Structure 1
Amino acid sequence: MLLMPQRDWQWIYNDSYGVLSVSLGSDMEFLTPYKTKALIPDALATTEFNVEHAKFYIEFIERIGKSLNIADAVRVQLALNATAAHFLLKPQMPKSWFFETSAVCVYSELGKVFQLKCQGEVVQVLVVESNIQASLVMLLSPELHLSDSKAMRQFDCIKVMNDRLHPLKANRQIAAA
């Protein structure tokens, strides 16, 4: 079942868990993975889940429904995390040096899935924010080691130049006549 935004939804910083959360009414709360150091100052105060957030959330739900064959609950989880990342994470500079350059020119857009290649590891990412040169992407894979001392966990976001985004391999069937 897809959750649709309601008037009583709001962003709350959950002190108990040390992460941003979305209050989905009186009896439900969704915890994002985003901690204080990654959030803009406004995210630390209770803020409404406004019309702009709802519009982004609904558009994201629709887009990922076309690109990923996943359960509704996972779509909601991705869309809530993406909405939080898009509106409440601090702006980032691209950190492309961790990733291999792609030999294929890609068109990055919201909700599109790509691969990133880092030290022989290949992971899937989902575009949360895109412009002509760079994209903010959310890690779909469980984990990614960027270096000996730095790692990303599922749903963490990183900004990369679009030339680092590798298209997914399409499964093609060739019929011989």
Structure 2
Amino acid sequence: MLKPNSSWKWYFNTDDDSLMLELGQDMVFKVSIASKHLVPDAFMDIPFSVDDASLFHLYNDGLSDLPLSGPRKAEIILNAVAANRFHKPLLPKSWFFKDVGGDLAPEAGTIIELKTDFGNAPFLVIENHGAASLCMLASEEDLALTDNKSMRFCEAIKVMNDRLSVYKNKRGKGKGRYALVG
């Protein structure tokens, strides 16, 4: 697994029209956020900060129970850090998701579940803004929102918190259970 260090650097690659993260040792990560959704700071060279590293570890901890490979976890973590720092503010698009009547107030790094008429999927909470949260799809399978619109892995969306439900880990059913002894 990647470990953040002081040599990492954000920069915008005009040839690819993409935000990149230079990881050193001839490794570069291409962020999945379209350039039209980036704030102006994303177009400058900026070092990977201590705050970025803190978010990296926070998101990594949150993803520990998801059935993703190490490289896929690294991908979502780096995209989530980039979204937290460089994504333009979004308006909630809650109409795609079922109102579960919940009152979750999830912290950043929490895995929640969102449900549509076509299915459900886990999402990583990037930021909670009080009544709504910026979330990133944490499933490798696309999630259909409508008959002709779907979300892809690492795509971000802002959703009202009454649409969020607690994520129930479908793998490792016996994990976390204890037997009473004596």
Shorter-chain TM band: 0.7 to 0.9
Write the mapping of 1:18-167 to structure 2, written as runs, cut at 5 A.
18-65=17-64, 67-68=65-66, 70-141=68-139, 142-148=141-147, 150-167=149-166
Does 2:5 match 1:3?
Answer: no
Deviations 1:13-38 (A, max 9, x none): 23343321110014000111111111
Q: Please give the alpha-carbon distance, in whole angstroms, between the structure 2 residues aligned to 1:71 and 1:139.
A: 15
Does 2:13 match 1:14?
Answer: yes
Judge conservation of contact 1:36–1:44 (CA < 8 Å) in 2. no
Q: Percent identity?
A: 36
The CA RMSD over aligned residues, in Å, is 2.3
Gaps of 5+ in 1: none
Q: Please give the alpha-carbon distance, in whole angstroms, between the structure 1 residues aligned to 2:28 and 2:12.
A: 11
Counterpart amino acid of residue 13 in structure 2: N
Pair 91,31 (structure 1): closer, same or farther in 2 beyond 3 Å: same
Pair 70,162 (structure 1): closer, same or farther in 2 beyond 3 Å: same
Gaps of 5+ in 2: none
Answer with 27-36 or 142-151: which moved more.
142-151
Work out the number of aligned pairs and report it. 172
Answer with 112-121 or 140-149: which moved more.
140-149
How high is the TM-score relative to the length of structure 2?
0.82
Runs of 4+ in 1 over 6 A off after TM superposition: none
How high is the TM-score relative to the length of structure 1?
0.84
